[in-house]
Chains A and B, each alone.
Chain A
Amino acid sequence: MIKHSNKTYWIGFCVVLALLIVAPLVLPEFWRRFLTEILIWGLLAMSSDILIGYTGMISFGHSAFFGLGMYGAAAALLLVSPPNMWIAIGFGLVAAAIVSLFVAYFSTRLRDIYFAITTLIFSQIFYVIIFTWTEVTGGENGLAFSRPQLSIPGIYSTPFTTETLHWFVLAVVTASYLILRRVTQSPFGMVLQSIRENEPRTRAIGYPVERYKIVAVMLSGLFAGLAGVLYAIQNKFAAPDFVYFLISGETVIFNVMGGIGTLVGPIVGAGFFLMLRELLSRMFGDQFPYLIPLGFIFIAMIIFLPQGLLGFARRWLNR
């Protein structure tokens, strides 16, 4: 029985992956970039699902991890010449890891809303530092840099095109998904879910809950940082706006819309949200306050679809 539904799962996985691989060959230029961007935001949302959906900790500070990944990549691309994609990824991940260790150490002592507020405050602290430290971070204007080449060190190097960038992002997001899926199914992942279900009981059967939470926050922060690196590579700039808490809020909304505790749900949620925003501004023009109808749609979804778009498939997706 389990074998059978595993088979349908992998067939579904391959179909979606194939569609995403073919997409840039058939879509017009704008939508190609748009799809790549959805994948990047989806990776950010997916990383926070580790905390929201699997561990039961709502983080409102994911913009800090995302932003630090972005600025880490920016530092590498500006300081190292010629700009190297892998060094940018390395810098971004190290920056995100340091910040997430710092945030995790202090915030995991708190639970529920207190955890959420603490992560929010930390992300705002990083925002203020980045916004005001103009000599290093470029302040309000951020940093602009050139895009590195797509390279396999020592073998191959070529400038990114829209297609190859899309495939590169797709490869990173798919690999991240497979890694995170495996982690959530591992004994460690089961402990996180046990913490979500019943924290005192998890402690009582012998788990040092705080340590698991710290590792969960770090893991989540690392993949959020990776999303930040990808965004930097795609858009060739880093700006303080991406460390601002609105990004964290959107991350939570992607999760809720798509279905928490599914990993792919948040990607779908990000796609749904960004598509809606794009459609609304196309229908009514750029000046249209799209957040108002978006807010109504969000409220309606909370009421009529509280599990999110993929919530119904939660158990199946996690098998």
Chain B
Amino acid sequence: MSVQASTDTRSPAASRGAAAPILKTELLTVRFGGLAALSQVNFEVARDEVRAIIGPNGAGKSTFFNCLTGVLRPTGGRIVFNGDDITGLPSNAISQKGIARSYQITNILPNATVLENVRIAAQSRRHAWNMTAHHSAFTDINEKTESALESVGLRSKAHELAANLSHGEQRNLEIGIALATEPLLLCLDEPTAGMSTAETHDTMQLVKSIAKDLTILIVEHDMQVVMELADRITVLHYGEILAEGTPDEIQRNPKVLEVYLKT
């Protein structure tokens, strides 16, 4: 991977606490019948922060992501992103506002090439309705596509079918597709799930490198990944926020140790 490991990518989010948060949820609630998957979650992320969301299975992490990206409509509460209320907007509108997402289960266009996968995302901001030009004729889109491929290290595989990539490469392609939409906030749902140690390492370097100019929310089970990447960590438990703090604080928090880290 061509990405350079930087020694310290943690942006001191706390030090610019005065800036308005890029994402804020107020009393966010999702109910499936009688079950509250999320109940009254108040959550804030500062601009350029890397925030990890952890918690046992069923804690509501994926539900939270689904609300943020418009897959699920929350039962109650509000989501404010970059100054706009985005509660209940469809996912295409949320994408246009600047929230991108990679999926827990690889979600790409398997019969298209790597290049096509990224380009379709890149052209979603400009020229999308053009019917008269060839799709490869736009230099701005091609440049954006190239740079997204470059940053996820898939440039050499641009003309391979996405279905033929290894699992790890497909996961990185996911991130490349998300980056090509030029998001302000990137939600990564278990980006290293099912990866080998080496692949996990590469993906961590990748996330570090893109975190320089992007706010990142990351759901992850691998504690090593979380502790190394995140500026701050939010712990969800039964749909509620159990604790929030720096990796050090979370590791020492007795409640967190009790429900999650100990096991």
- Complex: how many Å from CA A173 to CA B11? 61
In whole angstroms, how far apart are the Cα atoms of A278 and B92 in the complex?
Answer: 50
Q: How large is the interface on B (under 10, 10 to 19, 20 to 34, 35 or more residues)?
A: 35 or more
Q: Give the contacting residue for A187; candidates B69, B91, B112, B123; CB below 8 A.
A: B123
Shortest C-beta distance, B7 to chain A (Å), equals: 33
The interface residues of chain B lying within 8 Å CB-to-CB of A201 are: 107-109, 177
Interface assignment of B130: CB less than 8 Å from any CB of chain A:
yes
List residues of chain A with CB within 8 A of the CB of B130. Answer: 186-188
Decide if A29 is an interface residue (CB 8 Å cutoff): no
Interface string of B119-134 (1 = CB under 8 A from A): 1110111011111111
Q: Is B96 an interface residue (CB 8 A)?
A: yes
Given contacts A197-B111, A201-B108, A205-B120, contact A187 B135 (CB under 8 A): yes
A189, B132: Cα distance in complex, Å: 10
Please indicate the chain A residues that have their CB under 8 angstroms from the CB of B123 in the complex.
Answer: 187, 190-191
Chain B residues lying within 8 Å of A183, measured Cβ to Cβ, are: 131-132
**Chain A contact residues, majority secondary structure:** helix
If A190-B123, A191-B120, A198-B109 touch, does A203 touch B177 (CB 8 Å cutoff)? no
Q: In the complex, A186 Cα to B129 Cα: how many Å? A: 8
Q: Which residues of A contact B131 (CB under 8 A)?
A: 182-183, 186-189
Complex CA–CA separation, A205 to B173 (angstroms): 14
CB of A209 within 8 A of chain B?
A: yes
Report, as a range, how many residues of chain A touch the other chain.
Answer: 20 to 34
- Contact flags (1/0) for B81-102 with A, using CB distance below 8 Å? 0000000001111011000110
The answer to whether A197 touches B110, judged by C-beta atoms less than 8 angstroms apart, is yes
| A42 CB to nearest chain B CB (Å) | 22
Residues of A within 8 A of B107 (CB): 198, 200-201, 204
Known: A187-B130, A197-B110, A201-B108. A206 touches B125 (CB 8 A): yes
Asked if B170 CB lies within 8 Å of chain A CBs, one says no
Q: Which residue of A lies closest to B90 (CB)?
A: A203
Contact with A along B163-187 (1 / 0, CB 8 A): 0000000000000011011000000
Say how far A56's CB is from chain B's closest CB, in angstroms: 11
Nearest CB of A to B203, in Å: 20
Q: A205-B95, A206-B92, A207-B124 are in contact. Are A189 and B135 (CB under 8 A)?
A: yes
Chain B hits for A189, CB < 8 A? 131, 135
A206 with B134: CB separation less than 8 A: no
Interface membership of B220, Cβ < 8 A: no
CB distance from A234 to the nearest CB of B (A): 29
Q: Mark A246-258, 1 if CB is under 8 A from B, else 0.
A: 0000000000000
Pick the contact of B128: A182, A197, A204, A207 (CB < 8 A).
A207
* Option from A188, A193, A194, A207 in Cβ contact (under 8 Å) with B92: A207
7 smallest A-B Cβ distances: which pairs?
A206-B95, A206-B124, A197-B109, A205-B121, A188-B131, A186-B131, A187-B130
- Known contacts A182-B131, A205-B178; 16 additional CB pairs below 8 A are A185-B134, A187-B129, A187-B130, A187-B138, A188-B131, A189-B131, A190-B116, A197-B109, A201-B107, A201-B108, A202-B120, A203-B92, A204-B91, A204-B95, A204-B107, A206-B124
